[in-house]
Amino acid sequence: MLSTIAVATDGSDTAQRAVEAAFDLAEHYDAPVVVLTAYAPGRHDSIGWHATEATQAERVLADASEAAEARGVRCSTAMREGDPADAIVALAVERGADLLVVGNKGMERRLRGSVPDTISHRAQCSVFVVKTS
């Protein structure tokens, strides 16, 4: 039995497939979902406007929360600044997830591989990797 399902998203179309899979599992097991995302520190754009990825992360989480509500899935959200894989793994632990859902495609990192690959090796719970392409 699953008591908490976590799903990682960056708002991309491929990540949306992982979110949908997590919602399917939540409906089947009557479990709540926690939608997780990570963001980079804020920075100034070329005209001096302080653009922060935290605002975009908040939008991604709000969209996922609305989608969960439309399906009747109990949902909470969490975000953290930092390396995506490290932040997602830490948030899953903090939220007591017993399953972490990720898409198989993610941001590539030159030295350490993809985010989904890193998550699958570092997570402290079971990981469900959704084929997204």
The model scores a pTM over 0.75: yes
Domain edges within the chain = 7-42+50-130
**7-16, 20-29, 68-77, 85-94, range with the lowest pLDDT:** 7-16
Question: Count of CB atoms within 10 A of residue 121's CB?
Answer: 11
Q: What is the CATH number of domain 7-42+50-130?
A: 3.40.50.620
Q: Which of 125, 112, 109, 113 is nearest to 36 (CA)?
A: 125
Residue 110 in this model has a pLDDT that exceeds 70: no
